[in-house]
Amino acid sequence: MLHVIWHIVIGFVVGLLARALLPGGDQMGLIATTVLGVVGSVVGGFIGRLIKKPEPGAPFHPAGFFMALVGAILVLLVWRMVR
Protein backbone atom coordinates (compact mmCIF):
# COMPACT_ATOMS: atom_id res chain seq x y z
CA MET A 1 0.00 0.00 0.00
CA LEU A 2 2.84 2.37 0.84
CA HIS A 3 4.32 1.68 -2.61
CA VAL A 4 1.17 3.00 -4.30
CA ILE A 5 1.08 6.11 -2.13
CA TRP A 6 4.75 6.76 -2.91
CA HIS A 7 4.04 6.51 -6.66
CA ILE A 8 1.20 9.01 -6.32
CA VAL A 9 3.37 11.49 -4.38
CA ILE A 10 6.27 11.19 -6.84
CA GLY A 11 3.79 11.44 -9.73
CA PHE A 12 2.47 14.71 -8.31
CA VAL A 13 5.99 16.14 -7.97
CA VAL A 14 6.92 15.04 -11.50
CA GLY A 15 3.66 16.50 -12.85
CA LEU A 16 4.36 19.83 -11.16
CA LEU A 17 7.91 19.93 -12.54
CA ALA A 18 6.72 19.05 -16.05
CA ARG A 19 4.15 21.83 -15.97
CA ALA A 20 6.76 24.26 -14.64
CA LEU A 21 9.29 23.36 -17.33
CA LEU A 22 6.68 23.55 -20.08
CA PRO A 23 4.63 26.63 -19.18
CA GLY A 24 1.32 27.28 -20.81
CA GLY A 25 -2.33 27.84 -20.18
CA ASP A 26 -3.16 24.34 -18.92
CA GLN A 27 -6.15 24.32 -16.63
CA MET A 28 -5.17 21.28 -14.54
CA GLY A 29 -6.05 20.67 -10.96
CA LEU A 30 -4.40 18.52 -8.34
CA ILE A 31 -5.72 15.21 -9.66
CA ALA A 32 -4.93 15.95 -13.31
CA THR A 33 -1.39 17.02 -12.39
CA THR A 34 -0.90 13.81 -10.40
CA VAL A 35 -2.25 11.68 -13.26
CA LEU A 36 0.08 13.52 -15.65
CA GLY A 37 3.06 12.64 -13.45
CA VAL A 38 2.07 8.99 -12.95
CA VAL A 39 1.39 8.44 -16.67
CA GLY A 40 4.60 10.30 -17.49
CA SER A 41 6.46 8.00 -15.13
CA VAL A 42 5.09 4.94 -16.92
CA VAL A 43 5.99 6.40 -20.33
CA GLY A 44 9.44 7.43 -19.11
CA GLY A 45 10.03 3.99 -17.61
CA PHE A 46 9.10 2.36 -20.89
CA ILE A 47 11.49 4.63 -22.81
CA GLY A 48 14.24 4.00 -20.26
CA ARG A 49 13.84 0.23 -20.58
CA LEU A 50 14.02 0.51 -24.36
CA ILE A 51 17.34 2.36 -24.10
CA LYS A 52 18.94 0.20 -21.40
CA LYS A 53 17.61 -2.59 -19.23
CA PRO A 54 18.10 -2.10 -15.48
CA GLU A 55 20.62 -4.33 -13.74
CA PRO A 56 19.21 -7.63 -12.43
CA GLY A 57 17.93 -7.18 -8.89
CA ALA A 58 18.00 -3.37 -9.06
CA PRO A 59 15.04 -1.84 -7.22
CA PHE A 60 14.68 0.97 -9.79
CA HIS A 61 16.15 2.26 -13.03
CA PRO A 62 19.06 4.68 -12.44
CA ALA A 63 17.51 7.34 -14.68
CA GLY A 64 14.04 6.84 -13.19
CA PHE A 65 13.19 10.35 -12.00
CA PHE A 66 14.72 12.02 -15.05
CA MET A 67 12.91 9.68 -17.45
CA ALA A 68 9.66 10.18 -15.53
CA LEU A 69 10.05 13.91 -16.08
CA VAL A 70 10.79 13.41 -19.78
CA GLY A 71 7.77 11.12 -20.07
CA ALA A 72 5.52 13.64 -18.31
CA ILE A 73 6.68 16.40 -20.66
CA LEU A 74 5.93 14.15 -23.65
CA VAL A 75 2.47 13.33 -22.27
CA LEU A 76 1.80 17.03 -21.68
CA LEU A 77 2.83 17.87 -25.25
CA VAL A 78 0.55 15.15 -26.63
CA TRP A 79 -2.27 16.39 -24.38
CA ARG A 80 -1.88 19.91 -25.76
CA MET A 81 -1.89 18.64 -29.35
CA VAL A 82 -5.07 16.61 -28.76
CA ARG A 83 -6.85 19.53 -27.12
Q: What is the pTM of this model?
A: 0.81
pLDDT of the residue at 50 = 84
Nearest Cα neighbor of 68 from 53, 46, 51 is 46
pLDDT of the residue at 64 = 79
Whole-angstrom Cα distance, residue 14 to residue 11? Answer: 5
Report CA-CA distances (Å) from 54 to 27, 62, 82: 36, 7, 33
Q: Work out how many domains the chain is built from and give that number.
A: 1
Across the chain, what does the average pLDDT equal? 84
- Tens digit of pLDDT for each residue in 25-34? 778 888 988 8
Q: Which domain holds residue 38?
A: 2-82
- Tens digit of pLDDT for each residue in 51-77? 877 778 777 666 778 888 888 999 999
